[in-house]
Amino acid sequence: MQLAINEFIEEQRKGLAELLENLSKSRVAAARSAARQSAARIKELNGRVRALARSGVRLTAVSQGAAQGLIELHAEIVDTALTEAAAQIERMAYTESVRDLARMQTDVLQAARQRIVDDIARAVTILKDAAGDARKAVAPAVPAAGKAPVRKAPVRRKVKVKVKVKAKAKPKAKAKAKAKAKAEARRTPRRTSRR
């Protein structure tokens, strides 16, 4: 009996030793697998970060180009305005009558109006071009970042809506309101134009 118990204990000890060895090997294998997967995820993120940085650099270049265009336009506007003001003052010096001065002023106002319209159109063109370039600068970064999960469009369910119906006013309440309005109208004195 003692021998059978000792054999049983020995078998159990060997089984537990094997189980412990397999468990430690599987832990090491699981840890290695997790490390490989983590490294792969980090490499994938590295590509995304690079793509994002490149698009940021392109976006900075686009915004700098737009700012440069707007600054150049501003300088040209100021230069043109000063040149035209000097020319107008010079022409005013040579005018002989008020009629000539008024005619010149009309021409100057029309020219200024047209110049303002042209300058606004140029500014809008600069901003539109910058917006298009910004979209192009950011667009390549989206596919490089990875495939976005495809989402199904939400299913719209038909919902029964309860329609609220306005309750009809009771005839007595209507009559009461009319009587009250008439009474108030009688109390307020009418103003006449005669005095």
Residue range 115-141, pLDDT digits in tens? 999 999 999 999 999 999 988 888 764
CB 24 within 8 A of CB 103: no
Half-sphere exposure (Cβ direction) of 136: Cα atoms closer than 13 Å: 9
Share of the chain above pLDDT 90, in %: 22
> Could you tell me if residue 87 is inside a domain?
yes
How many whole angstroms separate alpha carbon 5 and alpha carbon 38? 48
> Could you tell me if residue 170 is inside a domain?
no
pLDDT of res. 195 = 47
The domain total for the chain is: 1
> Could you tell me if residue 72 is inside a domain?
yes
> Could you tell me if residue 150 is inside a domain?
no
Question: Which residues constitute the domain of residue 102?
Answer: 2-141
| Better-scored residue on pLDDT, 102 or 1 | 102
> Could you tell me if residue 156 is inside a domain?
no
Question: Cα 17 to the chain's mean position, in Å?
Answer: 63
Q: What residues contact residue 92 under an 8 Å CB cut-off, 6+ apart?
A: 101, 104
CB atoms within 10 A of CB 92: 13
How many whole angstroms separate alpha carbon 72 and alpha carbon 118? 14
For the segment 18-44, the average pLDDT, to the nearest whole number, is 80
CA torsion 23→24→26→27, rounded to 10°?
120
pLDDT of res. 99 = 87
pLDDT of res. 160 = 57
> Could you tell me if residue 180 is inside a domain?
no
Q: What is the mean pLDDT of the chain?
A: 78
Strands in 21-178 per DSSP E? none
pLDDT of res. 31 = 81
CB 136 within 8 A of CB 61: no
Residue with tokens 């008024």: 102
Two tokens at 177? 């309101």
| Better-scored residue on pLDDT, 46 or 191 | 46
